[in-house]
Amino acid sequence: MNKGELIDQIADKAGCTKKDADAILTAFLDTILETVAEGEKVTLVGFGTFEVRDRSAREGRNPSTGATIQIPATKVPAFSAGKLFKEKVAPPAVEEKPSASKGKGK
Protein backbone atom coordinates (compact mmCIF):
# COMPACT_ATOMS: atom_id res chain seq x y z
CA MET A 1 0.00 0.00 0.00
CA ASN A 2 1.35 3.42 -0.89
CA LYS A 3 0.53 6.79 0.69
CA GLY A 4 -2.29 7.53 -1.78
CA GLU A 5 -3.98 4.20 -1.07
CA LEU A 6 -3.55 4.77 2.68
CA ILE A 7 -5.19 8.19 2.36
CA ASP A 8 -8.12 6.58 0.50
CA GLN A 9 -8.55 4.00 3.30
CA ILE A 10 -8.38 6.65 6.02
CA ALA A 11 -10.94 8.83 4.22
CA ASP A 12 -13.32 5.86 3.86
CA LYS A 13 -12.99 4.72 7.49
CA ALA A 14 -13.13 8.21 9.02
CA GLY A 15 -15.89 9.48 6.74
CA CYS A 16 -13.90 12.54 5.68
CA THR A 17 -12.56 13.92 2.42
CA LYS A 18 -9.32 12.70 0.90
CA LYS A 19 -7.93 16.22 1.33
CA ASP A 20 -8.66 16.12 5.07
CA ALA A 21 -7.24 12.59 5.38
CA ASP A 22 -4.07 13.70 3.57
CA ALA A 23 -3.66 16.70 5.88
CA ILE A 24 -4.16 14.52 8.98
CA LEU A 25 -1.75 11.81 7.81
CA THR A 26 0.89 14.38 6.84
CA ALA A 27 0.59 16.12 10.23
CA PHE A 28 0.78 12.74 12.00
CA LEU A 29 3.93 11.69 10.15
CA ASP A 30 5.58 15.12 10.53
CA THR A 31 4.93 15.07 14.27
CA ILE A 32 6.47 11.61 14.65
CA LEU A 33 9.50 12.59 12.53
CA GLU A 34 10.12 15.79 14.50
CA THR A 35 9.68 14.13 17.89
CA VAL A 36 11.99 11.19 17.13
CA ALA A 37 14.56 13.53 15.55
CA GLU A 38 14.64 15.39 18.88
CA GLY A 39 15.52 12.11 20.62
CA GLU A 40 12.12 11.44 22.19
CA LYS A 41 9.97 8.30 21.95
CA VAL A 42 6.50 8.22 20.42
CA THR A 43 4.44 5.41 21.94
CA LEU A 44 1.06 4.45 20.50
CA VAL A 45 -0.30 1.82 22.89
CA GLY A 46 -1.20 -1.34 21.00
CA PHE A 47 0.43 -0.13 17.79
CA GLY A 48 4.07 0.41 18.67
CA THR A 49 6.91 2.73 19.60
CA PHE A 50 9.04 4.95 17.38
CA GLU A 51 12.42 5.84 18.89
CA VAL A 52 16.07 6.66 18.23
CA ARG A 53 18.64 3.95 18.89
CA ASP A 54 22.40 4.36 19.13
CA ARG A 55 24.48 2.19 16.84
CA SER A 56 28.01 1.82 18.18
CA ALA A 57 31.16 2.19 16.10
CA ARG A 58 32.32 -1.03 14.52
CA GLU A 59 34.79 -2.49 12.09
CA GLY A 60 33.63 -3.38 8.60
CA ARG A 61 35.06 -4.41 5.26
CA ASN A 62 35.07 -2.71 1.90
CA PRO A 63 33.30 -5.32 -0.28
CA SER A 64 35.30 -4.50 -3.41
CA THR A 65 38.79 -4.48 -1.87
CA GLY A 66 38.32 -6.46 1.32
CA ALA A 67 40.12 -3.69 3.24
CA THR A 68 39.13 -3.14 6.87
CA ILE A 69 37.33 0.16 7.52
CA GLN A 70 35.98 1.85 10.62
CA ILE A 71 32.24 2.52 10.62
CA PRO A 72 31.48 5.44 12.96
CA ALA A 73 28.84 5.42 15.69
CA THR A 74 25.48 6.82 14.62
CA LYS A 75 21.86 7.18 15.62
CA VAL A 76 19.15 5.31 13.71
CA PRO A 77 15.36 5.47 13.80
CA ALA A 78 13.65 2.32 15.05
CA PHE A 79 10.12 0.96 15.40
CA SER A 80 9.00 -1.72 17.84
CA ALA A 81 5.59 -3.22 17.17
CA GLY A 82 3.13 -3.29 20.07
CA LYS A 83 1.40 -6.36 21.42
CA LEU A 84 -1.90 -5.84 19.54
CA PHE A 85 -0.03 -5.19 16.27
CA LYS A 86 2.03 -8.37 16.68
CA GLU A 87 -1.06 -10.43 17.52
CA LYS A 88 -2.91 -9.06 14.47
CA VAL A 89 -0.03 -9.98 12.16
CA ALA A 90 0.75 -13.37 13.74
CA PRO A 91 -2.00 -14.58 16.09
CA PRO A 92 -0.64 -16.67 18.97
CA ALA A 93 -0.91 -20.40 18.49
CA VAL A 94 -3.79 -21.98 20.39
CA GLU A 95 -2.57 -24.80 22.58
CA GLU A 96 -4.74 -27.89 22.81
CA LYS A 97 -5.46 -28.94 26.34
CA PRO A 98 -5.07 -32.65 26.92
CA SER A 99 -8.51 -34.18 27.29
CA ALA A 100 -9.28 -35.96 30.52
CA SER A 101 -9.31 -39.71 30.11
CA LYS A 102 -12.73 -41.23 30.58
CA GLY A 103 -13.42 -44.49 32.35
CA LYS A 104 -10.57 -44.25 34.87
CA GLY A 105 -12.89 -43.85 37.84
CA LYS A 106 -12.97 -46.46 40.68
The distance of Cα 92 from the centroid of its chain, to the nearest Å, equals: 18
Q: What is the pLDDT of residues 1-60, one digit of tens each?
A: 999 999 999 999 999 999 999 999 999 999 999 999 999 999 999 999 999 999 999 999
Same structural domain, 9 and 23: yes
**Residues contacting 105, CB < 8 A, separation 6+:** none
C-beta neighbour count of 7 within 10 angstroms: 19
Residue 70 lies in a domain: yes
Query: Cα 61 to the chain's mean position, in Å?
Result: 30
Q: Let me know whether 45 and 87 are in one domain.
A: yes
Sheet-wide strand order for 48-55: 42-44, 48-55, 74-81
Q: What is the pLDDT of residue 104?
A: 57
Residues 50 and 61 in one domain: yes
51 and 82 housed in the same domain: yes
- Tell whether 2 is covered by a domain: yes
Does residue 85 sit in the same domain as residue 50?
yes
What is the extent of the structural domain holding 73?
41-91
Look up the pTM and report it: 0.73
| Mean pLDDT across 83-100 | 81
